[in-house]
Amino acid sequence: MKVRSEVSALSDAKENAVAVFIFQDKKGLAQQIAALGKQLGEKLQAAVSLKDFTAKEGELLSLYTEKPIASPRLFLVGVGETEKVTLEKLRRAAATAAKTAQSMKVGSLGIEFPPLTLLPHSIGSSAADVAQSIVEGAFLSVYKYDKYLTPDAEKKRLESLTLFTAEKKNFNEIQTGARFGEIISKAVCHARDLQNAPSNEIYPETLSFDVQQTAHDYGFKATIFDQRKIESLKMGGLLSVGKGSNHPPRFVILEHIPAKGNGKTVVLVGKGVTFDSGGISIKPSANMAEMKMDMSGAAAVVGTFQALAEMKLPVHVVGLIPSVENMPSGTAVKPGDIVRHFNGKTSEVDNTDAEGRLILADALGYASKFKPDVVIDLATLTGACVVALGHLATGMMGNDQATMESLKAAGEKTYERVWQLPMFDEYEKMIKSDVADVKNTGGRWAGAITAGWFLKKFIGEYKWAHLDIAGTAILEENMDYAPKGGSGVGVRLLVEFLKNWEKK
Ligand code: BES
Ligand code: MN
Ligand code: ZN
């Protein structure tokens, strides 16, 4: 989808449909009715009087226009009460407009930038954030993974989105925000495509090719380690999980070198299990297909690099993607096996389905090479995290409260919310092994936390946060601006985190 921003009055916008956000309470509504001009203002007034449209969140009224409005259709989109409007409500309103446009086979949509004076102080100060959010909501809501569907001539995609404003005053900010929104949304959709791609298309080798191509297209570095190189580095976790599959493992290193950095380095680690059958400790067949998305952490890292390279963020970021396919076979790793990881520590494989932590252990050890200030890993790590938080929040653990607070703030702003889980010392003994330094399972309870504790055993001398995205990455139902399937979670969160990181 093409995104533009322009200075234009509502009446001059030429798109096939134009959307105006309407505020529910008297203050906002009166202003919006006046702004619509005589005829349309009267129509809105009538709709409100008849209670056909109340400007509640999620409501949309489609009107056919008359002169002097150039566009044939006008969408009035409710955003609720003026004082309660948030960036997230704007994303959702934009999503409602875009989805309606697409279902009406309208190829181009204009959205009027809402009057900043009506927005609450908390968000009203930044026209760029508002513009970015509107673009995100619209862009992300019309995503569909349709690569393998025979094209349907009846359907029409929304091809262009224009954010317009009659006031010149904030136009530069609006343009910048809209551009960021476009870059970030494109990156999120790339992450979604990687997640949704079936595992007969995306396996470690092809995942690494995609990273290489993306690096080439967007201008960051990518280095791929093949099985032999991984062997020479003694990454035992990656080798043991990978050895049950006909697709050999890969370890991919991404690097974004800014023109002018602040001398600090962030390392992002993404779990890249391209299919998780469970291995010898095989999973039940119900929902096993979802496990093609067990590389969602890797997808988030790739998407983040794409966006931060295109945005030219002034921060040095390294990405690490350990990638394997977890399969049962005669050569597969077995319960009871003992693995030696990159940093020399050993782990007992109690359950071959707890494979993510085994490969992340190698990557977290390798991260030390870059002398990072902070390391953030993203992984669809535990079903227990989904049980605890559902699909609405990412589980977070770590060793540095300030880093976690920054992630929380980025989560609130982007609405990719994170929720901290405790890492009490007492949990550590649940993963004690009699025969190795650590065991890869911690029993039935607190599964997300014992997984976090396992990772903690492998981190180096750096600040660290772990994000368990098992619930937020894989959606079982459509959300406001994310259809069922891969959500691309992590991209918007990390870009926001990195945008602020530069200021430290
Ligand atoms: N990839 C799964 C976790 C998962 C489950 C992600 C559901 C998304 C949705 C992970 O590798 C796994 O199998 N974890 C096990 C760990 C257990 C064996 C200790 C789990 O959560 O059951
Ligand atoms: Mn597993
Ligand atoms: Zn897994």
pLDDT, tens digit (0-9, with 9 covering 90-100), for 388-440: 999 999 999 999 999 999 999 999 999 999 999 999 999 999 999 999 999 99
Q: 124 pLDDT exceeds 70?
A: no
CB atoms within 10 A of CB 494: 29
Cβ neighbours around 491 below 10 Å, total: 31
C-alpha–C-alpha distance, residues 482 and 390, integer Å: 15
Would you state the pLDDT for residue 324? 99
What are the start and end residues of each CATH 3.40.630.10 domain in the chain? 187-501
Please give the number of the atom of ligand 1 that sits closest to the Cα of 384.
21
pTM for this entry: 0.98
User: In angstroms, what is the span from residue 400 Cα to ligand 2's centroid?
Assistant: 27
Q: Choose one of 271, 347, 378, 381 to mutate for the ligand 1 pocket test, by most ligand atoms within 8 angstroms of C-beta.
A: 381
Residues in contact with ligand 1 by the CB-under-6-Å rule are 276, 294, 351, 353-356, 380-384, 386, 441, 447, 470, 474
Domain with CATH 3.40.220.10 in the chain: 2-166
Average pLDDT over residues 153-173: 94
Catalytic residues: 283, 357
Beta-bridge mates of residue 464: 375
d(CA 166, CA 180): 21
User: Which of 382, 441, 444, 450 gets mutated to test ligand 1 (max ligand atoms within 8 A of its CB)?
Assistant: 382
pLDDT for the residue 504:
55
Instruction: Say how far apart CA 82 and CA 92 lie, in whole Å.
Output: 15
**CATH T-level topology, domain 2-166:** Leucine Aminopeptidase, subunit E; domain 1 (3.40.220)
Q: What is the mean pLDDT of residues 225-248?
A: 98
Residue nearest to atom 5 of ligand 1 (CA): 383
**Which ligand 1 atom is at minimum distance from the Cα of 450?**
19
- Alpha carbon 253 to its chain centroid, in Å, reads 20
- Domain 187-501: CATH superfamily, name plus number: Zn peptidases (3.40.630.10)
> Using CA atoms, how far apart are residues 247 and 290, in angstroms rounded to an integer?
19
Tens-digit pLDDT profile for residues 311-327? 999 999 999 999 999 99
C-alpha pair distances (Å), 458 with each of 237, 287, 341, 362, 454: 12, 31, 9, 8, 7
For residue 383, the ligand closest to its alpha carbon is 1
Cα Rg for the chain, rounded, in angstroms?
A: 24
> Ligand 2 centroid to 47 CA: how many Å?
53
Distance CA 178, CA 182 (A): 6
Nearest one of 122, 206, 154 to 413, comparing CA atoms: 122
Q: If 0-12 CB within 10 Å is exposed, 13-18 middle and 19+ buried, where does residue 409 land? A: middle
Distance 166 CA to ligand 3 centre (A): 50
- Report the atom number in ligand 1 closest to the C-alpha of 382: 21
Would you state the pLDDT for residue 37? 87
Average pLDDT over residues 152-170: 93
Nearest bound ligand to the CA of residue 440:
1
User: Using alpha carbons only, what angle is made at residue 453 by residues 254 and 365, rounded to the nearest 5 degrees?
Assistant: 35
Tell how far the Cα of 382 is from the centroid of ligand 1, in angstroms: 4
Cα–Cα distance, 415 to 303 (Å, whole number): 17
Cα–Cα distance for residue pair 16/353, rounded to 1 Å: 51
Query: What's the confidence (pLDDT) of residue 502?
Result: 57
Neighbours of ion ligand 2 (CB under 5 A): 276, 353, 355
Ligand closest to CA 451:
1
How does residue 309 score in pLDDT terms, banded at 50, 70 and 90? very high
Mean pLDDT along residues 155-174 = 95
- Please report the beta strands in 29-187, taking only residues with DSSP state E, as ranges in sequence order: 60-64, 73-78, 108-112, 160-165
